[in-house]
Amino acid sequence: MTRLAPVVLLAMLPPAVFAESATPSLGYTGAPTDHGGQNCSTCHTGNLVNDPKGSLQVMVNDYASFSQQLIRIIVQHPQSSRWGFQMTIRGQSTETVSAGTFSLASPPGAVQIVCDDGSQFGSTKGCAGNSIRWFAEHMNAPLGSPGAAHEFDINWTPPAQEIGRIEVYVAAVAADGDGTPEGDFVYTATKTLQNVGVCDDAVAPILNNVVNGATFQQPFSSLAMVSLFGHNFHLQGFPRTAGLGDYVNNSYPTELGCVSVQATQAGMSPVLLPIAYVDTTQINAQMPEFTGSGPVAVSVILNPGGTNEFQTPMVTLPEFQPFAPAFFLFANSTSIAAEEAQTGALVANPAVVTGATPAKPGDIVALFGTGFGETSPALAAGELASSATKLANSISVTIGGVTLASSDVLYAGLSPGSIDGLYQINVRIPAGTSSGDVPVSITIGGETTQSGATIPIQ
């Protein structure tokens, strides 16, 4: 039998077999938005992931904004003599973007910092501020005595502002050192970090006005979205949008970015509002369900519960209505926030929203608004609507002056997966509807959405 020369044998082996020991392919930490959550076992095969004879320790603490800490990763298996790892850190609300930055420990050890540049192995150059995905990983996977544990150290600096809960994803390899990916042991770990930073806003907030979150006017109703306008609500340049990392018991938080909003009705105890968004001049929140009568007073609280707490004077709102229906509009337009119900494609003129298209007669379009009142079943303020939840009261929809038959109103209720102050009305555009920006209105309980709201038909 003819023997192949060593150089020929090497040429027949996949290049990745050798490349992975020097620097691993990017994005195999188990993070769900990278390669569908795959980890090192995609390449290193033949053994059970997280084999009980070995171990992976990830030593990391809960975080405070911009407070650097040393992360220690220790991997061990009695049959292994070579080790590797890859780690990334993401916010639960922003899984596609790294949370904070890495820097090399001192001494650096066999560790490198890599940013995603679209290539298989990423780039070790120009990561600072230029990449949305950072990774720490081994460099030239170190050799050691069989069975001895190996430690990788890396510095991590959390984001300058808290972003809710953060996930640390680590995949590690305890390899047998034979130069192939078969027979190695893979370990994975995911750690959830909580924000433990202290709220330290030093400037008192000013609350000027509270308005309907869709129209930026009055009136109001229970469970409707509202917007608060003023100054010094939050650090300039660091807006906070509530997301998965902020939800508590499947509900929006009542404190976001060291900000709370309190509402009080005469004779009732104060209620904290679920908050969806905060920046320096605006807060978006949801009103609770008030059952009494009379005006409601609202105030903003910074550093809630702390010795340095600030609370604005109350702003008194008019008496709540049972219904205050209103459409959300695309920015700087009268065009209702709408999408094709079956595809999710945005419905608007492209001059209003780039890439959007007008609807056509016969299309089923989802219209979004707030203030449509109770649902069946009822949800508490701030709760996420996990499925279709219909309005408790009937509505009447008019498009281009034509009142729709009930069969053309396919759904009226909460928008699934969203805060329960966001309502979704799915309607079929009547045949024969004229082209142009066509007026739309919805009436519920004797109250009608704002005049002038339109959708484009073509």
User: Among the ranges 22-31, 179-188, 333-342, which has the highest mean pLDDT value?
Assistant: 333-342
The enclosing H or E element of 170 equals strand 166-175
| Residue count (the chain) | 458
Statement: residue 11 has pLDDT above 80 = no
Q: Which residues pair with 164 in a beta bridge?
A: none
Reference 303, options 258, 236, 263; nearest CA is: 258
SS3 label, residue 171: strand
pLDDT(12) > 70: no
Check whether 19 has a pLDDT greater than 80. Answer: no
Query: With 90 as the cut, is the pLDDT of residue 225 above it?
Result: yes
Q: Which residue has the tokens 């949008």?
A: 241
Res 171: pLDDT: 98
Q: What CATH superfamily is the domain 12-193?
A: Reeler domain (2.60.40.4060)
Does residue 406 sit in helix, strand or coil? Answer: helix
pTM over 0.95, yes/no:
no
Strands 315-317 and 310-311: unpaired
Which of the four pLDDT bands, split at 50, 70 and 90, describes residue 235?
confident
pLDDT at 46 over 90: no
Helix (H, G, I), strand (E, B) or coil at 177: coil
Residue-level pLDDT at 177: 82
| pLDDT value for 404 | 98
Mean pLDDT, residues 306-319: 92
pLDDT at 334 over 90: yes
- pLDDT value of residue 294: 74
pLDDT above 90: percentage of residues in the chain: 79
Express the helix, strand and coil content of the chain in percent, nearest 5 each.
Answer: 5, 40, 55
**27 and 125 in contact (C-beta within 8 Å)?**
no
Contact of 264 with 271, CB cutoff 8 Å = yes
Return the pLDDT at 293.
66
Lowest mean pLDDT among 4-18, 337-351, 415-429: 4-18
Share of residues in the chain with pLDDT > 70 (%): 94
φ/ψ bin of 176: left (φ > 0), alpha (ψ from -120 to 50), beta (otherwise):
alpha
Greatest alpha-carbon span in the chain: 97
Single-letter code of the amino acid located at 394: S
Mean pLDDT of 160-189: 92
pLDDT in tens, 264-278: 987 788 999 999 999
Does 13 score more than 60 pLDDT?
no
Q: Is 80 exceeded by the pLDDT of residue 165?
A: yes
Q: Quick one: pLDDT band at residue 18, thresholds 50, 70, 90?
A: very low
For residue 45, is pLDDT > 60?
Answer: yes
Per residue in 67-87, pLDDT (tens digit) is: 999 999 999 999 999 999 999
pLDDT for residue 1 = 33
**Residue 132 has what pLDDT?**
84
Q: Looking at domain 206-317, does it have CATH number 2.60.40.10?
A: yes
Is-same-fold flag (12-193; 206-317)?
yes
Angle at Cα 347 formed by Cα 346 and Cα 353, nearest 5°?
Answer: 70
Domain residue limits, the chain: 12-193, 206-317, 326-457
Which phi and psi (to 5°) does residue 12 adopt?
Answer: -85, -15
Beta-bridge mates of residue 248: 251
> 153 forms bridges with which residues in the sheet?
72
User: Residue 357: enclosing H or E segment and its boundaries?
Assistant: none
Residue 19: which of 109, 121, 113, 111 has the closest Cα? 121
Please state which of the ranges 197-206, 279-288, 315-324, 359-368 shows the lowest mean pLDDT.
315-324
Question: Has residue 2 got a pLDDT over 50?
Answer: no
